Amino acid sequence: MAPKTKYDIIAEIAKRRGFFWPSFEIYGGMSGFTTYGDLGTKLKRNIEALWKEYFVRKQGFLELEAPVINPERVFEASGHLENFKEYSAECSQCGNSFRADHLIEDKTGLENVEAMGGDAIKSMMVELKIKCPRCGGALKEPTLILTMFKTEIGATGGEVGYLRPETAQAMFLNYKRGIIHAREKLPFALVQSSKVARNEISPRRGMLRLREFTIMELELFFDPESPDCPWFGDVKDAVIRLYNEDMVENSVEEPLVLSVEEAVEKKLIITEWQAYFMGLSQRFIETLGVPAENQRFRAHLPDERAHYSAQPYDHEVKLETWGWTEISGCAYRTNFDLSNHMEASGQNMEVRREDGTRFVPHVVEPSYGLDRLMYIVMENSYERRGKRNIMHIPKELSPYQVAVFPIVKKDGIAEKAVEIRNLLLSKGLWVSYDAGGSIGRRYARVDEIGTPLAVAIDYDTMESDTLTIRDRDSWEQVKLSIDKLPDALAAYFRGENPFLELGEKVVRE
């Protein structure tokens, strides 16, 4: 048996404790679909809320929520109907289909085979004598397959529709309303966090290639003649690790390490807006627990680019299981999309400058896969300490903020613990309550689900109104009087560490 990867370890905890697991288990499963339990749903929501702190609230950008199902005309105009395809090789024996480029990658260790194009893929399949990975049968010549989910809208004879594979088109479709709501002023952004679906031919890598997932996407509309970003100063000194096109082309190993501002000055990043979002992105991902040195930005080569993109940078994070992994694309899309929709719909999307000239706004797009970020938070926060698993989930993101335990159930201690639980609930905290099993097992559980603090109620509580508060990361315990608890917790979640000041340290574990 292959040794357990980090992914296996995380996935096992995720399933046992309730972060995520494969969907439709009781009916034999269906690859590419994940179900989130209580902890995963909350962790995802907290990551999304943090993303809004970074990318929406402070800038006053405009949110949007548009349908997942779209009529065919939308994807005709956007180019997806022509381009959102992959090479699929069907087994002539068992009938299963597989992504041809992935089969080649698995056999050769090459990366990004997709970018080599159809002819290369077809001939490599033959030269490498690739067989069906499931039954060993002969594979037919790969053909291009549209990887959007197709459906029909309306009753008999309805209109063909597809589930959107990204959310950006909605921002372009609703651009004309957006600019009115932005009071006719550029720059402005439309932002969406919502579901998308991709009919992957043969999903693999668990969480990293799902058929249904959540994208957090932002389209920033600006005048290419006024390309300044008003918040650029906030990130300009951030030091990033960058591989530009030349470096990727020549497989340079060491990245350029330079400030965001230098990257713009050296024209490694064309627009200030794109540079702003890259700097902001690094900071956001740091808050998720990934240090800057485990992050990098990698340019796409011209033949790796999506059909719309002028200067895309992938934001990558180093994972133990899969190495450098894309978590975000930050692309300069020019006015490609708005121009397409303008032509296809006949609607004018131009903006008039004060000098009377007209133009179609340009677009910069930072976009994240939320499900993937959730996994990254989990992998990064995982520690094995002795026989214990600890998830050092950043406290801003933890599914539950504090756990409440009565040491025993008798002598009024459970009732007291419920009282404390209700007190903390009334302060707006997410509180878990656990009265069962040994206290050691209960501490082990909060460690494994990443609850940063646990409060134990014992006989001292009944006598002197003090309780014990325990820190997940250090396992330190402090005695604290009940009346100080709410303020101490509030301070803690503001980023302070008030416990040692307010309480008396005890050692019990």
Nearer to a copy of itself, 425 or 500 (CB): 425
CB 245 within 8 A of CB 299: yes
Q: Which residue among 1, 3, 27, 226 contacts a copy of itself (CB under 8 A)? A: 27
Give the one residue of 70, 167, 281, 451 binding a copy of itself; rule: CB under 8 A: 70
Whichever of 4 and 441 has its CB closer to a copy of itself, that residue is 441
> Rule CB under 8 A: which of 337-366 touch a copy of itself?
341, 344-345, 347
Q: How far is the CB of 266 from a copy of itself (least distance, A)?
A: 31
CB within 8 Å of 9: residues ≥ 6 apart: 382, 389
Which listed residue (153, 252, 462, 500) binds a copy of itself by CB under 8 A? 153
Q: Which parts of 467-506 interact with a copy of itself (CB under 8 A)?
A: none
Contacts of 230 (CB under 8 A, 6+ apart): none
117 binds a copy of itself (CB under 8 A): no
Q: How far is the CB of 99 from a copy of itself (least distance, A)?
A: 9
Instruction: Give 67 or 136: the residue with its C-beta nearer to a copy of itself.
Output: 67
Cα-Cα-Cα-Cα torsion 52, 57, 62, 66, nearest 10 degrees, comes to 30
Q: Is the dihedral of CA 329, 334, 336, 339 positive or negative?
A: positive
Q: Of the candidates 5, 12, 58, 496, which one interacts with a copy of itself according to CB under 8 A?
A: 58
Is 391 within 8 Å of 378 (Cβ atoms)? Answer: yes
In the complex, minimum distance from the CB of residue 315 to a copy of itself, in angstroms, rounded to a whole number: 25
| Contact (CB, 8 A) for 352 and 411 | no
Within 253-272, the residues that bind a copy of itself by CB under 8 A are none
Phi and psi angles of residue 193, each rounded to the nearest 5 degrees, phi first: -120, 110
Among 4, 134, 177, 409, binds a copy of itself (CB under 8 A): 177
Nearer to a copy of itself, 215 or 478 (CB): 215
Among 11, 125, 168, 201, binds a copy of itself (CB under 8 A): 201
Q: Which of these segments, 9-17, 354-362, 470-478, 497-505, binds a copy of itself (CB under 8 A)?
A: 9-17
Task: Say if strands 212-222 and 62-63 run parallel, antiparallel, or are unpaired.
Answer: unpaired
Query: Least CB distance from residue 57 to a copy of itself, whole Å?
Result: 6
DSSP letter (8 states) at residue 165: S
Number of residues near a copy of itself (by CB under 8 A): 82
Q: Does 17 bind a copy of itself (CB under 8 A)?
A: yes
Q: How far is the CB of 199 from a copy of itself (least distance, A)?
A: 7
Rounded Cα gap, residues 257 and 243, in angstroms: 9
Stretch that binds a copy of itself, among 198-206, 231-239, 381-389, 482-490 (CB under 8 A): 198-206
**Residue for token pair 């014992």:** 458
Q: Mask: binding to a copy of itself, 408-427, rule CB under 8 A, as x and -?
A: -----------------x--
Reading across the β-sheet that carries 295-299, which strands appear in turn? 62-63, 188-197, 212-222, 362-369, 323-334, 313-319, 295-299, 239-243, 256-259
Residue 234 burial (10 A CB sphere; 0-12, 13-18, 19+): middle
Write the CB contacts of 41 (distance below 8 Å, at least 6 apart in sequence): none
Candidates 7, 10, 11, 44: give the one binding a copy of itself (CB under 8 A). 44
21 vs 324, which CB is nearer to a copy of itself? 21
Q: Where are the beta strands (DSSP E) in 362-490?
A: 362-369, 382-385, 388-391, 402-406, 431-433, 453-457, 466-471, 477-481
Gap between the Cα atoms of 457 and 23, Å rounded: 38
Is 159 a residue that touches a copy of itself (CB under 8 A)?
Answer: yes
Selected from 9, 68, 306, 414, the binder of a copy of itself by CB under 8 A is 68
Piece in contact with a copy of itself (CB under 8 A), picked from 129-137, 178-186, 350-358, 405-413: 178-186
> For residues 65 and 249, which CB has a smaller minimum distance to a copy of itself in the complex?
65
- The window from 34-42, 236-244, 285-293, 409-417 that contacts a copy of itself (CB under 8 A) reads 34-42
Q: Distance (Å, rounded) from C-alpha 38 to C-alpha 46?
A: 12
One of 111, 141, 152, 228 touching a copy of itself (CB under 8 A): 152
Query: Is the CB of 176 or the CB of 305 nearer to a copy of itself?
Result: 176
Structure token digits, residue 491? 């301070």
Site for a copy of itself in 209-248 (CB under 8 A): 211-212
CA distances to 108, 185, 235, 297 from 277, rounded to whole Å, are 35, 20, 9, 12
Under rule CB under 8 A, residue 204 binds a copy of itself = no
Under 8 Å between Cβ of 278 and 313: yes
- Looking at beta carbons only, is 178 or 329 nearer to a copy of itself? 178
Whether the upstream peptide bond of residue 165 has omega within 30° of 0, thus cis, is: no
Residues 6+ positions from 281 with CB-CB distance below 8 Å? 315, 328, 330, 366
The residue from 4, 134, 181, 505 that contacts a copy of itself (CB under 8 A) is 181
49 or 247, CB closer to a copy of itself? 49
